[in-house]
Amino acid sequence: MKVLFIFNRQPYDGTDVTWNGLRLAKVLHERGHEVRIFLMNDAVDLARDCNKKPENYDIDLVAMLKEMYEGGVKLKVCGTCQVRCGIFRNEPYFSPEIKATMKDLADWVEDSDKVLTF
């Protein structure tokens, strides 16, 4: 099964929404499903090394996503949002290959069995 996760929220926003979405994506990947993650809006900060875990969080979400990406989870990040969104506007993503467009997202939506948003 191909599962697409679309994240929109600032990663460290005082809730566990992003963490729970990443946890689900990780479990599905471990079960052998093809997991794709697309970050847009303020969620793009999740793919920036400059985004450090706040002291009041026990989970480093950037490190978690990077580990999943290096482990085979497919990742794309909105290129337009890089300069428009997040606390760290204009900062680079941790990998230049993940920069994407709305066309890339549309392709993934059309080719996915399930689409989940967080």
What is the span of the domain harbouring residue 6? 2-117
Crossing angle between the packed helical segments 17-30 and 61-70, to the nearest 10 degrees: 20
Q: Give the CATH number of the domain where residue 109 resides.
A: 3.40.1260.10
Q: Indicate if the pLDDT at residue 84 is higher than 90.
A: no
pTM (whole model) above 0.75: yes
Q: In this structure, what are the phi and psi dihedrals at residue 68, rounded to the nearest 5 degrees?
A: -65, -40
Confidence label for 91 from pLDDT (cuts 50, 70 and 90): confident
Q: Indicate if the pLDDT at residue 72 is higher than 90.
A: yes
Radius of gyration of the chain, Cα coordinates, nearest whole angstrom = 13
The confidence score (pLDDT) of residue 85 equals 87
SS3 at position 110: helix
Instruction: Determine the straight-line distance between the first and last CA of the chain, rounded to whole angstroms.
Output: 19
Q: Indicate if the pLDDT at residue 43 is higher than 90.
A: yes
What six digits make up the tokens of 93?
A: 């993503």
Count: domains in the chain: 1
Q: Are residues 30 and 68 in contact, defined by beta-carbon separation less than 8 angstroms?
A: no
The confidence score (pLDDT) of residue 66 equals 97
